[in-house]
Chains A and B, each alone.
Chain A
Amino acid sequence: DAGVIQSPRHEVTEMGQEVTLRCKPISGHNSLFWYRQTMMRGLELLIYFNNNVPIDDSGMPEDRFSAKMPNASFSTLKIQPSEPRDSAVYFCASSFGGRFGNTEAFFGQGTRLTVV
């Protein structure tokens, strides 16, 4: 397995434009996470899916952000409209929520988003 795959690796867009980030989790994993990494706030959990169902989206900043997981092998994070303060590195991670105490999350390479 190639691990968690995110695309694109870099995205530069103008304020007001729609941005879609994509993630392919590791096959067989049943949990998927979207995180945002900034210097000021570290690694913030945006949304967590389990078995393709959103379990906790309390970290999603506002209505401009939305995430979907139509099937076990694909998820998207969309920002519409984008703003300069959304500039950050966005990470996707997946894990298998099996026996308690044995859940390691595997991260993608991240998408560096710059909104100008």
Chain B
Amino acid sequence: AQRVTQPEKLLSVFKGAPVELKCNYSYSGSPELFWYVQYSRQRLQLLLRHISRESIKGFTADLNKGETSFHLKKPFAQEEDSAMYYCALNNAGNMLTFGGGTRLMVKP
């Protein structure tokens, strides 16, 4: 069975501080990992995916298969980053499972 764990329900930081949103997964196969974001009053949307190795809005995430982690990082948080962040795993059968989510609050 596949499982995604986000240990922090809430993360509060000051503007300009580094941010790390933790995500751990369990899956026996080769996973496809994503981070989705939900801004206030907006739809849940894709932020980034591990296979693209991209940086979106200053965020990056590296897949660590040894630690089964896919933590989301940003060196300097901005107030507009405040949102709900979900880590997600897609299995070979295209079934998408999400973690419990972490609410990021960036204080001025």
A interface residues with partner B (beta carbon < 8 Å): 3, 31, 33, 35, 41-45, 48, 50, 55-56, 91, 93, 95, 97, 100-105, 107-110
Contacts and interface: CB of A to CB of B under 8 A. Distances in A.
A48 B98 CA distance: 13
15 contacts: A42-B6, A42-B86, A42-B100, A43-B86, A43-B101, A44-B98, A48-B95, A55-B93, A56-B95, A93-B44, A102-B51, A103-B94, A103-B96, A105-B96, A110-B43
Contacts, number: 58
B69 interface: no
A107 B43 contact: yes
Give chain A's interface secondary structure class.
strand
Interface of B: 6, 32, 34, 36, 43-46, 49, 51, 86, 88, 90, 92-101
B41 to A, nearest CB: 10
A41 B43 CA distance: 18
A46 to B, nearest CB: 12
Contacts of A41: 100
A103 B92 CA distance: 11
A45 B44 contact: no
A93 to B, nearest CB: 7
